[in-house]
């Protein structure tokens, strides 16, 4: 740890939601910070968000993205916490003035998975089976693949959703592999969806550690957590999302990765009924992800994505 950081031995206050997954993610990052900076005191500050308060409505009906971050960002801006650990897919494409992503750690598994009551794959579920998700993106892609399934809005934390499967309220549920893995439930996944069936959410599997943009001490403390290839990939994805989404929850998906020294990305927009889908692919140098993301978004719009998004916003 550098001398100037050691000299400032105040605790680093990490803000987090109180769910089991949010706490697990925050504690993993806190452990890595203590390892990187021996003697550093890391304090956990639990903050309740609007998304945690409202559990009886679908996410897209009450605001979608930003529901799980605003109260945390308010405490960051007020100086009550120094940094916040988020699932990156919860963060809107554009951060509030004065805030920045201080670190993007290495990405976990990005894919969506199925947990089914009887161990069936998505193809093996009988017609009419009830599959739970609160995501418009998952819903639309699932209906496109299996229009004979009943897709049910389901809210609550990972354990709650798993319990609803076990109790037979639904026959299966779609979750992020990363969340299951971080909670030690990875073995519950019956099937990992290929991207041809279900392209993941922007930033899925990645964490974003948010901080005040002018806080040099926190920036220095967070630096060892940074994973440049993940940052480059999610920068491309978030650039496309910011261009397409405008802060609303819509069925947009994107995934980027570095292969052969190039940043390659696929993105799509799909109608709510799954019947219309536009998809595009782009590649660039890894450091040009922001430009590539916007280019891909423009292509999706030119291919008819704007009409799909307009219809969704007018529902």
State the Cα–Cα distance between residues 106 and 227, nearest whole angstrom: 5
**Active site residue: 52, 74, 90, 214, which one?**
90
**Pairing state between β 83-87 and 207-212:** antiparallel
List residues bridging with 145 in a β-sheet.
Answer: none
Catalytic residue list contains 78: no
- The closest alpha carbon to 300, from 278, 274, 273, 272, belongs to 278
State the Cα–Cα distance between residues 107 and 123, nearest whole angstrom: 28
The residues annotated as belonging to the active site are: 90
């Amino acid at each position: 740890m550098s001398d100037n950081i050691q000299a400032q031995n105040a605790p680093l206050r990490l803000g987090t939601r109180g769910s089991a997954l949010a706490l697990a993610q925050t504690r993993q990052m806190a452990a890595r910070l203590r390892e990187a900076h021996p003697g550093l005191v890391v304090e956990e500050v639990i903050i309740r968000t609007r998304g945690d308060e409202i559990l009886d409505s679908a996410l897209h009906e009450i605001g979608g993205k930003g529901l799980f971050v605003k109260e945390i960002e308010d405490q960051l801006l007020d100086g009550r916490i120094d940094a916040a650990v988020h699932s990156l897919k919860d963060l809107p494409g554009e951060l509030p003035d004065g805030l920045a992503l201080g670190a993007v750690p290495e990405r976990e598994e990005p894919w969506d998975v199925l947990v089914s009551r009887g161990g069936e794959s998505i193809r093996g579920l009988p017609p009419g089976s009830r599959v739970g998700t609160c995501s418009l993106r998952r819903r639309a892609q699932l209906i496109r693949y299996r229009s004979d399934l009943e897709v049910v809005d389901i809210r609550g934390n990972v354990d709650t959703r798993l319990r609803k499967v076990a109790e037979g309220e639904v026959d299966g549920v779609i979750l992020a592999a990363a969340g299951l893995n971080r909670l030690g439930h990875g073995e519950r996944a019956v099937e990992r969806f290929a991207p041809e069936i279900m392209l993941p959410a922007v930033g899925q599997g990645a964490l974003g550690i948010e901080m005040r943009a002018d806080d040099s001490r926190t920036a220095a403390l967070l630096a060892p957590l940074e994973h440049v290839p993940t940052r480059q990939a999610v920068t491309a994805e978030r650039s496309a999302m910011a261009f397409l989404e405008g802060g609303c929850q819509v069925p947009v998906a994107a995934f980027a990765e570095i292969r052969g020294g190039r940043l390659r990305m696929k993105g799509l927009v799909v109608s709510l009924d799954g019947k219309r889908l536009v998809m595009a692919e782009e590649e660039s140098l890894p450091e040009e992800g922001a430009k590539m993301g916007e280019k891909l978004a423009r292509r999706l719009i030119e291919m008819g994505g704007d009409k799909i998004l307009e219809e969704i916003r007018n529902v």
